[in-house]
Structure 1
């Protein structure tokens, strides 16, 4: 089987890679580009561990083909921090102990960032609804929601 040449942008950087026609975006990110932040938790789009953004839209990368990345802007957890400066969501997840094993954390952070980009002042109910597609077996959700709400407030005050 011949590989497909993909030209895309990942976290703002022009990127090219080769992938198989049936290869998922998750596998292309992890195996072709070495971006191992997104995790495969279920392979069926039910857990959110593989969440990334594609052209600003939150998607499960296990459900998208790598070839579909052609000409698109992909956002991953690796692009969240700016240099040595953690994103406010990353800091708040640490401060609120909203992470444990780390399988769900990258997907939750990408999803939370997507939420705050679209709704900078979410209610707790909106945050819970937005993150409902991300499953966590370790922390429970209260610490995660507190971290997201605290980060939202900090980001609003900083702007």
Structure 2
């Protein structure tokens, strides 16, 4: 569609000079990422037009207390479909967010769903006194969706395949 659209969707061409691995070896490489020091899991999709799905569940820190307590549970998914004729993986990003309210475990008061390129970076800090008595910021929560997407893209592109972000599989 164009270079600007490809950049927005996160499309990467295959590494030049790299021999394209067969589909079965690419599938094994992506499934091998599961549990290799990464924050997400990769599994067979089991339908829906995709071959594999990478999933990451994050529970953000709660804010407030008592009945005013709010906590957001996010689920990031990347649905991947192999297109052997074009030697590319088509990937669709999906995000679910459920806001829980009240004392733990809370009840769901809001649900959101979105598709398209997901780029989310969140950080939270608290102020604490350091050993020297000075106040300093200490990171208490960190979320970066690149921690999920980059290892998948590197595995695909390094296998001689292209990565194409799409809105529908």
- Bin for the TM-score computed over the shorter chain: under 0.3
Structure with higher RCO (Cα < 8 A, 6+ apart): 2
Compare CA radii of gyration and give the structure with the larger one: 2
Which protein is richer in helix relative to its size?
1
* Larger proportion of strand: 2
So what's the TM-score if we normalise by structure 2? 0.24
